[in-house]
Amino acid sequence: MLEAFTYGVPPHGGIAPGIDRLLMVLFNEPNLREVMAFPAIASGQTSVMDAPSAATDEQLRELHLKIVK
């Protein structure tokens, strides 16, 4: 399956391998958050990457973007 992904991702309609759920079963873990690499809290923020966060002026210049208020 991994070799197939080297040629591109097929149209899947929202179906994925579900590795996090497989790990849940393998480790007999009832909570999905315990096996996810970067779990998000209820507001959608991640605790390890400070995401989502506002873009800095340097990032906006690098991407040639301008915020219009």
CB burial readout 31-64, b (16+ within 10 A) else e: eeeebeeeeeeeeeeeeeeeeeeeeeeeeeeeee
Parent domain of 19: 13-63
Q: What total of structural domains would you count in the chain?
A: 1
User: 26 lies in a domain?
Assistant: yes
Q: Is residue 40 part of a domain?
A: yes
Quick: pLDDT tens for 4-59.
Answer: 778 887 776 666 778 888 999 999 999 888 888 777 777 777 766 777 788 899 99
Let me know if residue 5 belongs to a domain. Answer: no
Residue 22 lies in a domain: yes
- Asked if residue 6 is part of any domain, the answer here is no
Which comes out higher in pLDDT, residue 6 or 65?
65
pLDDT of residue 29: 93
